[in-house]
Amino acid sequence: MLIEGFENAPVVVGEELLALPGFWAAYLMWLSRTEDCDPEPEWFGVDGADADAAWDALSDEDQWPVFRIPFAGGHTAMVLGCNIPEDPGTEYFITHPGWGRHGHLTTLGGHHAGPGLSWRELHHIARTPDLSAPGVHAEHARLLLLLPTLGDQGMPEDAVDIIGDALEQAGLPVTETRGTAEALLVDHPLWEPAEWTLSGASPLSGGKDPLPFHGILHCDGPMSPRFGTRLAQGITREQSDRLAHALGTWSAA
């Protein structure tokens, strides 16, 4: 069993798909599409056949690929292709062996929900791999795999450079990396950038939450699974503190 709750689904380890020439084109082209921008596989240094082959592997109804991104404190971010016939999608969530259920980040598909991560969290997770756990450990791949969850009004000035460097490490032509990075960050096709803030309790609870969100960011995007609710339901205060520390949002945890 790779993921609790998906015991009856044909889930398979997906990390080997990262080696496919067309993987990043198949995985990210849609994210760089806007009204004024229609991306091509050539942006990613591949042709249409490579992109199509990678897409076929990512969308295989008989093998649902999961990409495991282990980070600090025993946490793992998961990217799961839910290749349900007629209703495919991608789920992004965080797991921990001590939790009763997953922390939901983002859904891509017919009932999309997001954003799921702030830039601060995304960048921190990418840079803090747990090398003792199986999964994706290369920083650039971790960053790009979780990029579709991003939606943040407070992007730093160097975000384009950081994404551009990740794309270059992923094998994109140097001449294409900055333009592609800008396209990936300029306008998410599914939701608006959100504001992420720290506070002691949920703004929707009137400050009466018996287990405040210490160190966990709040998202003001109404489509986000993290809008006015905890990232992980049913966890203890100690588990919440560890999660905040692992996300890089609370140094006191």
166-191: pLDDT as tens digits? 999 999 999 889 999 999 998 899 99
Identify whether the C-beta of residue 74 lies closer than 8 Å to the C-beta of residue 58. Answer: no
In 10 A of CB 132, how many CB atoms? 7
In 10 A of CB 18, how many CB atoms? 17
Largest CA distance in the chain: 55
Q: 127 Cβ partners below 8 Å, 6+ apart?
A: 139
Q: Mean pLDDT check: name the lowest of 35-39, 190-194, 226-230.
A: 35-39
Distance CA 241, CA 170 (A): 33
pLDDT greater than 50 at residue 211:
no
Q: Six-digit token pair at 159?
A: 């975000």
Distance CA 128, CA 218 (A): 22
- pLDDT, tens digit, 9 for 90 and up, residues 8-67: 999 999 999 999 999 999 999 999 887 777 889 999 999 999 999 999 999 999 999 999
Percentage of residues in the chain with pLDDT exceeding 90?
76
Distance CA 212, CA 237 (A): 8
Q: Domains of the chain: which residue ranges?
A: 11-194
pLDDT for the residue numbered 210? 43
Mean pLDDT computed over 220-241: 89
Residue for token digits 């100690």? Answer: 238
pLDDT greater than 60 at residue 204:
no
pLDDT for the residue numbered 75? 98
Of residues 138, 179, 142, 152, the one with CA closest to residue 44 = 179
Q: Six-digit token pair at 120?
A: 């601060």
What's the pLDDT band for 205 if we cut at 50, 70, 90?
very low
Identify whether the C-beta of residue 169 lies closer than 8 Å to the C-beta of residue 143. Answer: no
Mean pLDDT computed over 98-125: 95
Which residue intervals of 97-208 are DSSP H helices?
119-127, 139-146, 159-169, 174-186
**What does each C-alpha distance from 247 to 27, 105, 145, 147 come to in angstroms?**
24, 13, 16, 15
